[in-house]
Amino acid sequence: MCGICGEFKFISKSFDNEKLNNLMDSISARGNDSQGRYMDDDVFLGHHRLAIIDTSNKSNQPMQVGKYVIVFNGVIFNYRELRSALIKKGHSFSSSGDTEVIIRSYIEYGSDCVNYLDGVFAFCIYDTEDKKLFLARDRIGIKPLYFLHESGQLYFSSHMKGILKNMVKRKVNPIALNYQFTLHSVVPAPHTIIDNIQKLEPGYTITVHKSGRIDKTRYFNIDEIQLSKYNTNEIYENISSLLAAAIEKRISVADVPVGILLSGGLDSSLITAISKEYKNNLSTYSIGFETINKEEGNEFYYSDLVANDLKTSHEKYSVTSLDLLNSLDDVIMSMSEPMFSQDSSAFYLLAKNVSKSAKVVLSGQGADEVFGGYFWYEKIMREKDLSSIDTLIKYYFDRSYDNYKTIIHSDYVSENYASNDIESRLKQMDPSLSILDKSFPPRALHVYY
């Protein structure tokens, strides 16, 4: 995890050092191995690095190749293959990491470079001669990228806090607020809780010109993926193949050790077992809490079973209720957007402890969403009497719109944005498919030349 930020001026004025420091401070927790700045009369680019691939100074950022300067957060899993292909095309490299692969891919393929990248990423490339920025975000939106276009400049950052401090006017976005209190605090891009600050949508790029014009391009659309009719055995085989491939490339790409957050549950245990096939020496980490009213507060029993069976180097952290309370302010300040999740403090404390010995970890986060693990999925599938949108309102939404209007000030209530948006999406779906049918076929994102 690294942090990127920048400012692009559309009018002639001096940079405000306090505002630039706001941007840099907001991303400082995302990487402390090195930090760097690039500045000319029109552009400021900033970077905080957590060195994972090519940990030498040669891959420090901002990185300049010819007339192009890049700041990048993420990882490109197929960077070695891309590097070899670019060398065959005549490129020579001064570093061995993935950052230079991105910038040289841009030199070779232009804005189409994103189609060659298998990874999770948010990056900005500045053309020092043509005076334009190219910003890109990965297909699923794993890496954050916020931007604000106001008052003669564009700000961008991995964290919203620095941009927020630099805003001239601050106002809550009523659209985002409705999503926030309806969909488990999920606010889909391009919206954020602050009006005018946007998230670049997953699978999109933008090109920002000196005139202030912004050209947005969608390079990936999950709805365009062709679905195959698999039988049950083929589904099992494909899931197994995709999961193994996803874990293998994450284990093998890093130049530093990769650990695993092991709760002892199905998801993290499966990830640990598969990882063991690719790396013998694994470090795993678990967190536990106090027992309250005879309810066990930790899952150490289960994580110990897995760690002992797979012979991992296992560390356990015990957290008290006071620890959780004392961390609350830091947890809130670390959030780029508001979160309602009750486990935010726990995850923060686990990450804080783990970061003392590991830079990279795998976890089972997201598995319940992909594989229907939450209790409401079964209720949704069993419901036969209600319409699709009414079924989601009953079993998935946090609250009804009528309830929402009783807890939010009337100044911020104008429309049921979340419900209307989802109902519109449901109408566009093939009625024979569920949202879980949008799966990637094996090797779907591999690059061919």
Burial of 394 (0-12, 13-18, 19+ CB in 10 A): middle
Structural domains present in the chain: 3-220 (3.60.20.10), 232-362 (3.40.50.620), 369-437 (no CATH)
- For every one of its 449 residues, what pLDDT tens digit does the chain have, with 9 covering 90 and above? 799 999 999 998 899 999 999 999 999 999 999 999 999 999 999 999 999 999 999 999 999 999 999 999 999 999 999 999 999 999 999 999 999 999 999 999 999 999 999 999 999 999 999 999 999 999 999 999 999 998 799 999 999 999 999 998 899 999 999 999 999 888 999 999 999 999 999 999 999 999 999 999 999 998 887 777 788 888 888 899 999 999 999 999 999 999 999 999 999 999 999 999 999 999 999 998 877 776 666 778 899 999 999 999 999 999 888 998 899 999 999 999 998 877 888 889 999 999 999 999 999 988 888 888 889 989 998 999 999 899 999 999 999 999 999 999 999 998 999 999 999 888 877 655 544 343 333 333 333 22
pTM of the model: 0.92
Position 129, amino acid: E
